[in-house]
Amino acid sequence: MKIVSYNVNGIRAAVKKGFVDWLKATGPDVICLQEIKAMEEQVDLDVFTEAGYNFNYWFSAQKKGYSGVAILCKEEPNHIEFGTGIESMDFEGRNIRVDYDGVSVMSMYLPSGTNDARLSHKFEYMNLIQQYLNELQTEKPNLVVCGDYNICHEEIDIHNPKMKGVSGFLPEEREWLGEFIDSGFIDSFRYLHPERQEYSWWSYRANSRANNKGWRLDYAMVSKPLQEKIKRSVILTEAVHSDHCPILLELDI
């Protein structure tokens, strides 16, 4: 099973940049999208069905042009879970999940901490999603939580490890991500590539992408019961439809 996660920074903008052709060429079974910045009715769904994704599910933010997640699937899932049931998380459209026989896949978009108010919201979300996933793992032990976590875990995950005072690399955020992994997840990319330094996001400023001054913010976290099923986990840096690039996970299911 091939799973892709991609913060597209606006699905309509990404489509104009060739996203659909890229999707056809890559051909994941499931693709998790974050920061879609659109309501379902604002998107031409035909381009996805024509690409082979007859089953697509959208969970947008209440605020137009902001946040939002989606999942596109080739095969129909057994169940789709829109949101978490926690209002402070769901009104910004940050979680959607599809369940199959052997695995459940969540597209998650963790908030960024661009100012004090957003940082406070980010920490609240981090606390709530950890509690939610602790309970979910008892019900759905074969779980993949893909998405933009907006946190670099280790120094190897950021081009400048001295940026310890910036949200995304704060000690408290990094500690939380370590505890998240310890709660029963595997960072699939780091599991297979313990020494590889690659990034999934670059600022639009200062020619950061061309100079590879990036951050690894996007993760395919795999619950421990699926550990032996992890076949491949890579960062697809050649895709340029967004300030992020997609990540790809293959499971032997």
Q: pLDDT for 85-110, tens place per residue?
A: 999 999 999 999 999 999 999 999 99
Q: What is the pLDDT of residue 156?
A: 98
Mean pLDDT, the chain, rounded, equals 97
| Cα–Cα distance for residue pair 187/185, rounded to 1 Å | 7
Coil, helix or strand for 154?
Answer: coil
First to last CA, the chain: 6
Q: What is the pLDDT of residue 246?
A: 98
Positions marked catalytic:
109, 148, 244
With bands split at pLDDT 50, 70 and 90, how would you rate the model's confidence at 24?
Answer: very high
Query: Can you tell me the mean pLDDT for 164-179?
Result: 96
DSSP state of 64: T
Annotated ligand binding at 243? The verdict is yes
With bands split at pLDDT 50, 70 and 90, how would you rate the model's confidence at 195?
Answer: very high
Query: Can you tell me the mean pLDDT for 115-131?
Result: 96
User: What are 76's two structure tokens?
Assistant: 């129909």
With bands split at pLDDT 50, 70 and 90, how would you rate the model's confidence at 238?
Answer: very high
Query: Of 63, 103, 51, 71, whose CA–CA distance to 4 is shortest?
Result: 71
Coil, helix or strand for 246?
Answer: coil
Partners of 215 in beta bridges: 158, 201
Q: What is the pLDDT of residue 71?
A: 98
Q: What is the pLDDT of residue 174?
A: 98
With bands split at pLDDT 50, 70 and 90, how would you rate the model's confidence at 76?
Answer: very high
Query: Can you tell me the mean pLDDT for 161-170?
Result: 94
Q: Domains plus CATH for the chain?
A: 2-251 (3.60.10.10)
Query: Can you tell me the mean pLDDT for 185-210?
Result: 97
pLDDT digit string, tens, across residues 6-23: 999 999 999 999 999 999
Query: Can you tell me the mean pLDDT for 56-67?
Result: 96
Q: What is the pLDDT of residue 146?
A: 98
How does strand 214-215 pair with strand 69-73? unpaired
Annotated ligand binding at 7? The verdict is yes
Annotated ligand binding at 35? The verdict is yes
Q: What is the pLDDT of residue 244?
A: 98
Annotated ligand binding at 148? The verdict is yes
DSSP state of 65: T
44, 5 in Cβ contact below 8 A?
no
Partners of 220 in beta bridges: 146
pLDDT digit string, tens, across residues 35-57: 999 999 999 999 999 999 999 99
Query: Of 199, 200, 189, 197, whose CA–CA distance to 244 is shortest?
Result: 200
Query: Can you tell me the mean pLDDT for 122-134?
Result: 98
What backbone torsions phi and psi does residue 40 show, to the nearest 5 degrees? -55, -40
Annotated ligand binding at 150? The verdict is yes
